[in-house]
Structure 1
Amino acid sequence: MSWHVPEEDLRAYARGELAAPALWSADAHLAACARCRGGLGAVGDVDGGWERLDAELDAPRPGMFEGLLVRAGVADHTARLLAATPVLRRSWLGAVVVVLVLSVAAAYAAPPGRSPTLFLALAPLLPLAGVALSYGPALDPTYEMAVVAPLHGFRLLMIRTVAVLAAVLGLGGLATLALPGYGLRALAWLLPALALTSTGLALTPRFGPVAGPGAVGGAWLVLLAVAEAVREGGPLAPFTVTGQGVAAGVAVAGAGLLCALRDRFDFSRGSAA
């Protein structure tokens, strides 16, 4: 044969872009020409290689935090969701540190033996606020990606909740160690924090990711104001043995309600979108 399919036509044929009548000529020629069929295979491999290279170059590079999670054994997609959590950014964590430092400073400024009331009041609100800022179309920059991802809404919420609790409770624990000699009494904020967080999450399908936790936070502040008004010395009611027992019960009830409503989070995501 003196005529063969030009390389440009072979590339277009491999991509499915070759138009008639050149397409008909190429079809007829390839059926009888082993040389051009070999060239077509080579062209297809080259084009596929360029496509794979383009995809690799265009792929987003994981950040340091995401890379550490992957090295620790976290799945790639889970690490990406954790790294995209808004409240794990420096601005939010910095704000948490500032609040904790100021509340610890207030505890040092209080008279000796006085309960660190400000710290105990503010510390339970921090994980609640963090969870509220981690889930929802108005606050999460990756919300649209999460909506279309093949991931249960409840699982996404739990992944980010665990991340928020690990960060905030860890910082709160360090701040507790810095309090001036209150011992185990300074840990009285942990159970209220879990109670507020679980209750706020349980209200999210009904009231939304901001209004639900916001209502729970407001109720906590009202409770503290009432407890302060009726206190006759000693710690505030939520930080007594009875109050801690009530907080534990609320945390368990909130977790149970949250599990019962776990299928509602996909509906709330769809309606919010």
Structure 2
Amino acid sequence: MRDEKHEGTGWHADTDDLRAYAHGELQAPRLWSVDTHLVACATCRDALAEVGDPLAMHIGWERLDAELDAPRPGAVEGLLMRIGVADHTARLLAATPVLRTSWLGAVLLVLAMTVASVYTSDSPALFLALAPLLPLAGVALSYGPALDPTHELAVVAPLHGFRLLMTRTVAVLVASLGLNGLATLAIPGYGLRALAWLLPALALTATGLALTARLGPVLAPALVSGGWVALLVVAKATANGMLAPFTGLGQGAAAAIAVIAAVVLHRVRDRFDASPAHAPFTDFAHRSTS
């Protein structure tokens, strides 16, 4: 770099650097310095025009424009990449609707209200009934043309539909189960009974995903949620103590259902890939617009 001072930048690029830049031969980190300097220095831009051919200069400015216009990762995306998540996966996760502040805030509010009800009613029944539905709702809101604003981009992304499904499902489960776990810590007086929501949550989510392959991303979780509510109503009407889904037998049944649903989901995974891959989603979109 030349020592000559400049009012706007304090220095000028060396002629040799400009010539190398014009021919695409300047290496980093000097390349970055010249790139940044040329944006603010008209004198060096004129000098560049004199030492380089117009085509090479045009290509260089196109490269600079591309760098300036490249999207910068947001806070969530940047955090994911810092902990080792691949950049394309981090972008897909950051675009997941239910990982945004509005959804997480709403979940926290609902959990706070249900935890408060435990202290007023002296029973964890409402919390145990609601907590398994939150992961199912979160997963359902992550997919499909009617619910996911990035659905079209996900469909054309070079990523298997089943892998996208599992990637977002794991992210939603981590967030939802983590928030449920924090809420559980707020009701320590019930011991292990306060964790009785976990197996039903996994069973409902796995069942909803397995049915999505045939019923679509709206109808499947709706039916599973309705079935859960109906089961709780029947259990409450016949219960003498703890509701049946939260007893030892009910927990065993929930674990068995979760395993069976996971096996079924694995067997139908091809329905989520390529054209057949997005069949549950594209079929639903076709029905909703016809």
TM over 0.5: yes
Q: Deviations over 1:75-130 (max 9, x none)?
A: 0100000000000111111111111111110100124xx4x000000000000000
Greater length-normalized contact order (CA 8 Å, ≥ 6 residues apart) = 1
Number of aligned pairs? 231
**RMSD of equivalent CA atoms:** 1.6
SS, match of residue 139 in structure 1? coil
The aligned counterpart of 1:254 is: 261
Whether the 8 Å contact between 1:107 and 1:180 is mirrored in structure 2 is: no
Residues 1:209 and 2:240 are matched in the alignment: no
The aligned counterpart of 2:90 is: 79
| Structure 1 counterpart of 2:175, from 148, 167, 178 | 167
TM-score (norm 1): 0.81
Q: 1:119 to 1:70 in 2, by over 3 A?
A: same
Residues 1:189 and 2:197 are matched in the alignment: yes
Residues 1:100 and 2:108 are matched in the alignment: no
In structure 1, what is the Cα distance between the partners aligned to 2:195 and 2:153? 38
The percentage of counterpart residues that share the same residue type is 70
In structure 1, what is the Cα distance between the partners aligned to 2:63 and 2:257? 53
Residues 1:268 and 2:264 are matched in the alignment: no
The aligned counterpart of 2:99 is: 88
Please, which moves more after superposition, 242-251 or 137-146?
A: 137-146
In structure 2, what is the Cα distance between the partners aligned to 1:62 and 1:146? 18
In structure 2, what is the Cα distance between the partners aligned to 1:207 and 1:263? 15
The aligned counterpart of 1:56 is: 67
The aligned counterpart of 2:150 is: 142
Q: Deviations over 1:158-180 (max 9, x none)?
A: 11111110111001001001015
Letter in 2 for 1:60: P
The aligned counterpart of 1:65 is: 76
In structure 1, what is the Cα distance between the partners aligned to 2:283 and 2:67? 35
The aligned counterpart of 2:245 is: 238
Q: 5+ unaligned residues in a row in structure 1: which ranges?
A: 1-38
The aligned counterpart of 2:31 is: none
Letter in 1 for 2:280: S
The aligned counterpart of 1:24 is: none
In structure 1, what is the Cα distance between the partners aligned to 2:88 and 2:218? 25
SS, match of residue 140 in structure 1? coil
Whether the 8 Å contact between 1:200 and 1:212 is mirrored in structure 2 is: yes
In structure 2, what is the Cα distance between the partners aligned to 1:52 and 1:210? 44
1:272 CA drift (Å): 4.6
In structure 1, what is the Cα distance between the partners aligned to 2:63 and 2:280? 38
In structure 2, what is the Cα distance between the partners aligned to 1:57 and 1:209? 38
In structure 2, what is the Cα distance between the partners aligned to 1:222 and 1:269? 27
